[in-house]
Chains A and B, each alone.
Chain A
Amino acid sequence: MKFRAIAQLPAGVLTLALLLGLAAVLSSQAPASPSLTLLSKDGRRALPLTLVGDQEFVALDDLAGPFQVAVREDALGAVTVTYKSKTIVLTPDQALASVSGRLVSLPAPPSRSGRRWLVPVEFVSRALALIYDARLDLRKASNLLIVGDVRVPKVAVRFDPLGNAARLTIDATPRAGSTVTQDGDHLTIRFDADALDALNPPLPPQPAQGIVQGVRLVDATTLAVDLGPRFAGFRSTSQPVDETQRLVLDLLALVPSDTAAPPGQPAQPTPPPPAEPPLVFGQPPSAFHTIAIDAGHGGDDEGVKSGDGAKEKDLTLAIARRAKAVVEARLGLRVLLTRDDDRNVPLDERTAIANNNKADLFVSLHANGSMRPTTSGASIFCAAFDKDAAQAAAVGGAERLPTFGGGSRDIELVPWDLAQTRHLDRSERFAELVEHQFRDHVPLSSRAIDRAPLRVLESANMPAVLIELGYLTNAEQAKLLASDAFQATAVQAIYEAIVRFRDAYAAAGGTP
C-alpha cells in the first residue's frame, strides 16, 4: 500500500523530498568547514578555507587584513598583491606567482569566486613568506599558520603498554622544555611554548582498567595524562634527540599483569613468578651498560610483506620500541635504537651506532620470508665468516700509536668488516639464551639457531645476533606477529635473555 501511495505522488514532490533528504544527510556528514588557524603574538584567529577538489584555497581578501597586504586586479586580469612596496603578481590560469620578479610555483592557479580571488593555501608559504617581514610557518597537516617568533612545537604522543608497566613518549619538535606534575588522578605536562601543534586528543582513549586512560589537551600549552586505576607511580626523563625534545614517562602498575600466551599456541602453564624480574630504576649491577636494538629495514626498504599488507619494517620498529621501553624501565640500561622512525638506515650506520656508543650487545630484529607459504617459526642468527676472514682477523693485533700530550698507547686494530669474529662465542651464547626463552612462548623454526654471513652483524664489535621473529609469508604467523600479545611475549623473552646474559657478564667479570 505504501509503495502505491508513494508512486501516486507527483514526481516533482518526490524529487524535491529526495534532494532535501540528501542535503540533510550530506550536511550531517560533512566535516566542519575547514579553516586555517593563524597563530601570532597577538593571539589566534581563523581564516576560512575553500576546498576545490583536494586543494585548499584561501581568499586574498581574508589575507589582506592580518598581513596588511593590498590586492589589486588590473585590466588584463592579473592580480597584484602588495606588501610594503614589494609585489606578488598572479596570473589567472597559471600555477605560478612572480614574487618581486622571481617565479615560484603554486599547486594550482588562482581562482575567482564571485568578486573574490582565491589562491592555494601554499601561496602563504611559497610567495607571501618571501616578502613578509616576519617568519611565516605554514603547517598544512594541522592547518596552522604561525606568524613571527611564536613557539609552537609539534607534539606527538606514543603509548607503549608493557605488561605491568607502560611508557608514554612525548616528542616536542622543535625542542620545548616541559614540567610534569601529578595532580590527583592525572599528570599535568606544561610546555615552555606559546601553543602546541597536536592532535586533539593527542592520544585516543585507552582501556579504562589500564595504567593510562588517555591524554588530552587542557589548554594551549598543557597536556593532561588521565591515570587509570592500575597506576602506581611514574618516572620522567627528558632528553634532546636531533631537533626534538623527548619526554619519556615510565609508568608503573600496582598489580603485575599475566603474560598472555600468543593466540594459536597451546596454553602453557604460567611461568613461575620469580621469572618476573623486579622493576629497577637504579644503576645496572655490572659493567653491562648499553644495548643497541636494531629495527630491521625502514623507509623505502619495507622488508617482507604479508598477504594482507603488513610490513616487516613496521613490525620490527614496534617491537624494538617495546623492547627498549621494557629494558630501560626494568633494568635501567641504556638502550639505543638504530632507528626510531620510518627511515632507511644503511647497514653500516646501524652497526656504527652500536660500535660508537660502545654497546655491550647488539640485537637486530627482523621478520622472515619464505617461498613456501607454510614455513614458520623464529630463528636466531649469528654471523658466519669464512676461514680466511677469521684468520685475517686473528692476525690483526695492537699497534703502538702516539697520543696527545706525548707518549704512546697500544691501540687494538680490528678490521671493520671482521669485528664480530672476536665475539662469535658470546654471540652464540646469547643466541642460545634467546632460543631458550623463546621455547614454549614463541614458535621456533626447525633451525632455531643458525650462522650466516649477515652484513649487519659482521661489523658489530660486541656480541650480536639477528632475530627472525617468524614468517610474514605464512598467513597464520603474520596474524600472530601483528598481535599485541605475541609482541609482548616476544619482548618479554628477549628481555629475559638479556637479563641472563647480563648476569653471566657480571659473574664473569665482563666476559660471559
Chain B
Amino acid sequence: MTARRLLAVGVLLLTAIVAGTILWLRVPRFTSQATPRAAAAPAPTAPAPPGRKIKARLFYVADDGMKLAGIERDIAYGEGATEQAREIVAAQIAPVVGPLVSAVPRGTALRAVFLTQAGEAYVDLSREVMAAHPGGTLNELLTVYTIVNALTVNLPAVTSVQLLVDGKEIDTLSGHVDLRQPLAKNLAWVQ
C-alpha cells in the first residue's frame, strides 16, 4: 500500500511540474511581467543611474513685473505626493539667475511640507520669506501665488496651500495678503 501511495504522489508531482513548465513557457502574460522586473535590477558593476525627473511648471516674475510666467522644468522625482510636493517647492524657491526673477525672497529655505487628506498643503518656510520680503501688495501676491500655483498646478492632489513661517501660522508676509487660510490656485496672476 505504501509503495502504491508513493508512486501516486510521485506521478502527481511530476504532472504538476510538467504542467507548470508548459504554462510558464507558453502563456505570454506571465513572462512579460517577469522580464522587466528582472531587467530593472541594476547590475552590481553598472554606474548609478541619473536621478529620476518629472516635468513641472514653475513660476517666475514676468517681464512686465505684473504677473507670473510659467516655465516647464525638470525637477527631482519624489516618492509619494508629499515628497513630490517637497521637491516642487524646493525647486521653486531655489535661487535663479537672470533673466529669471523669483518672487520668493533669496535666502528663503523650505522647512517642511505637509499634505492633508482634504487636499490642503502646508508649506513651512524659513523666516527669510518675511524678513527679506521687499513689501508691496503686488510683490506679496506674486510671492504667495508662486508657491500656491506651483503646487496646485503640478499636483492634482493639492487643491489649496497655506504658508507657514518657522512652523507657525502667519497673518501676512508683509502686511497685505491674508494667509490665515489655505489659498486655492489662482491663475489670474499668471500670464
Contacts and interface: CB of A to CB of B under 8 A. Distances in A.
Interface of A: 296-297, 301-305, 312, 347, 366-372, 374-375, 379, 381, 386, 389, 417, 445-447, 452-456, 458, 466, 468, 471-473
Interface in B22-61: 61
Contact of B64 (A446, A452, A453, A472): A446
Contact of B142 (A304, A371, A379, A381): A371
Interface stretch (B73-81, B87-95, B171-179): B171-179
B137 A368 contact: yes
A453 B173 CA distance: 13
Nearest to B101: A371
A247 to B, nearest CB: 33
B184 interface: yes
Contact of B136 (A369, A452, A456): A369
Interface of B: 61, 63-66, 101-103, 134-139, 141-142, 171-172, 174-178, 180-181, 183-184
Given A372-B61, A372-B64, A375-B64, A468 B138 contact: yes
Contacts of A297: 135, 175
B137 A381 contact: yes
B171 A372 contact: no
Interface centre among B66, B171, B174, B176 (most CB of A within 10 A): B176
Contact of B103 (A367, A371, A453, A466): A371
Nearest to A459: B178
Contacts of B172: 347, 455
Contact of B61 (A347, A371, A454): A371
A464 to B, nearest CB: 14
19 contacts: A297-B135, A302-B135, A303-B135, A304-B135, A304-B139, A312-B136, A347-B171, A368-B136, A370-B66, A371-B61, A371-B101, A371-B139, A372-B101, A379-B138, A381-B137, A453-B183, A454-B178, A458-B178, A471-B136
A305 B101 CA distance: 19
Given A371-B65, A455-B172, 11 more contacts: A305-B135, A312-B136, A366-B137, A372-B64, A374-B65, A375-B64, A381-B137, A446-B66, A454-B178, A458-B178, A472-B136
A188 B142 CA distance: 54
A472 B136 CA distance: 9
B152 to A, nearest CB: 13
A473 B177 contact: no
B101 A303 contact: no
A379 B65 CA distance: 14
A305 B74 CA distance: 36
Interface centre among B63, B141, B175, B184 (most CB of A within 10 A): B175
Nearest to A366: B137
A156 B176 CA distance: 32
A464 B94 CA distance: 37
B182 to A, nearest CB: 9
- Which 7 A/B pairs are nearest by Cβ-Cβ distance? A369-B136, A372-B65, A375-B65, A370-B65, A455-B178, A304-B135, A368-B136
Given A371-B142, A453-B183, A304 B134 contact: yes
A370 B177 contact: no
